[in-house]
Amino acid sequence: MYILITWTNILPKIYIDGSYSIVKNILCVVFIIAYIYCLLNVNKLNRQFYNYKTLKDIKVMFISRIVRILIMLFLGGVDFVDAGQKILIVNKLNCISLIILDFIHVYLVYTICFRDIIKRPNRNLYYNLLDEKQKLQKNLERLEQANFNMEYYKLVYEQLLKNMPSGILISSKEKIIFANNKVLSLFNLESDANMINKNILDLVYEDDREKYIDMLESLNKTNNDNKIINIRFSYNGVIFEGEEIRFFENVHQKNFQVSIINNVEDKIKLENAQKELELRDVMEKTRDEVLSNISHEFKTPVNVIYSTVQIQDLNLQKGNYGKILEFNKLIKQNCNRLIRLINNFIDSTKLENNKLDIHKKCVNIVSITEDITMSVINFAQRQNIQVIFDAEEEELYCDIDIEQMERIMLNILSNAIKYNRPNGNINVIVKDKKEEIYIEVIDSGIGIPKERISSIFDRFERMENKNAVIKEGSGIGLSIVKKLVDALDGKIEIESELNKGTTVRIIFKKSKQQNDIEEIYDISQHLEEKVNLEMSDIS
């Protein structure tokens, strides 16, 4: 009570009871600790309401209070007498010090109250408003800059999209909302006014729209985000083969379809040009191979003929007339080889250009196949190869060209002999397969590697093996066989296993008109010439 009443007033008050010293001392210590705590934490006051000067005044005020308490505590400030006596000032110096400290305290309290409670808040509010205004201006400038950047980048992105080398269409709810310059150039449009709000389906060629919808449905079932569609586009009188790549984007919870459209006709032309160049390279290589094969195949019989003629001249000079017939046979055989090679190359060219004449007749294919097979037995026996013919039926009729059928069978049998093993076998079987007729030539030869079966019918494809009976060949025979079978509306198949043998299967459809049957009585003389030609490279 003494501290609250006496120490917080400017002038000392009368105190009658003097028994207060212990309580006063305790309270003095508590107040000193409280003032020191406040002094240490005064800097934490909000700077928005208290500036540096105010904080300094508060610190001085706290210090003055601490000094006053210390003076009162240790030096004693004022002594009093009771019973209405007059105030006795024992220590005038201490009393003056206390009065000065109280005056400083009052002044600081007044200054703080007037400056910070009455005057400073308005000024602080003013400066605070100025600060807020400056902050607001800075925020506005930043916002304007952000808006400018957004507009700038928006223009940049729009220009990039408009000038992309590929056509770009952006659709929302099946309606086109954006078309770049490439799209306009593809359809010869000056502006996008005629394209906005159109459906992409409106740009598809009318006859291909159902196909386009089916392709979309098929692509939608897949998990690929990017869908590629090749379709014809037609709009504004322009038609072209196009490619559409479409994908979907979600922006601000709105779905947009993006379609990238390109004219692939230039791409197709480029691909065709590349294929043409590749074809030319292949043709040049093939031509070189052809010339090499021709030179080799023609050179061999010519050399034999030339050598034989020289021997004939020597025999004539020496009078050895007994061997003239034997050497004449050799000359005739190699002339047949030359004729066969020439015919093969001529027929190959005709077949390539579809200029070979085909005359189909309804004939008994069993009889013709048997005659052709029997005609090569002598040539097979020279190589110790056994030929067997068998048929499931005596008569099976189909529509074929007899002359071309002879060439087909003789060529296949010739290969079966040339690529067979010594003491091998050849089985020719005619089978009845309901609506079709199978003619199978099965040999026990060297076989064909699996990787070469698919190309065995290619032109100038040759099989070479050290175990083959005959290692020569132009590589053009099976190519002609395949084209002749196709020309007769048949099929040819090959099954082979390396070092075990080969089966060549020719398939023809049965004839539906068996009332007009071509009778074959004697073709031995006609067939003999062809056999000699086809078997001319077999000794």
Domains of the chain: 2-133 (no CATH), 167-263 (3.30.450.20), 269-350 (1.10.287), 357-534 (3.30.565.10)
* Distance from C-alpha of 378 to C-alpha of 93, rounded to nearest angstrom: 161
pLDDT at position 212 is 87
Q: Residue 368 in contact with residue 402, Cβ under 8 Å?
A: yes
Helix pair 477-487, 402-418: axis angle to 10 deg: 150
* pLDDT tens for each residue of the chain, 539 residues long: 333 433 444 334 333 344 446 766 777 777 778 778 777 877 766 555 456 666 776 777 778 777 777 776 666 544 433 333 434 444 555 556 656 666 666 666 656 655 555 555 566 667 677 878 888 888 888 888 887 777 877 787 778 878 888 888 888 888 898 888 888 888 888 888 888 888 888 888 888 888 888 888 887 777 666 678 888 899 888 888 888 888 888 877 788 888 888 888 877 788 888 888 888 887 787 777 767 766 766 777 788 788 888 888 887 887 777 777 777 877 887 787 788 778 777 777 777 777 778 888 899 999 999 989 998 888 888 889 999 999 999 899 999 988 889 889 988 998 899 888 888 999 999 999 888 999 999 999 888 888 888 778 775 555 454 444 444 555 677 888 898 899 899 999 999 988 889 999 999 999 876 655 555 444 545 677 777 777 777 76
* Distance from C-alpha of 278 to C-alpha of 264, rounded to nearest angstrom: 20
Secondary structure, 3-state, 417-486: HHCCCCCCEEEEEEEEECCEEEEEEEECCCCCCHHHHCCCCCCCCCCCCCCCCCCCCCCCHHHHHHHHHH
Cβ density class 191-202: b for 16+ within 10 Å, e for less: ebeebeebebee
pLDDT at position 509 is 92
CA 198 to chain centre: 30
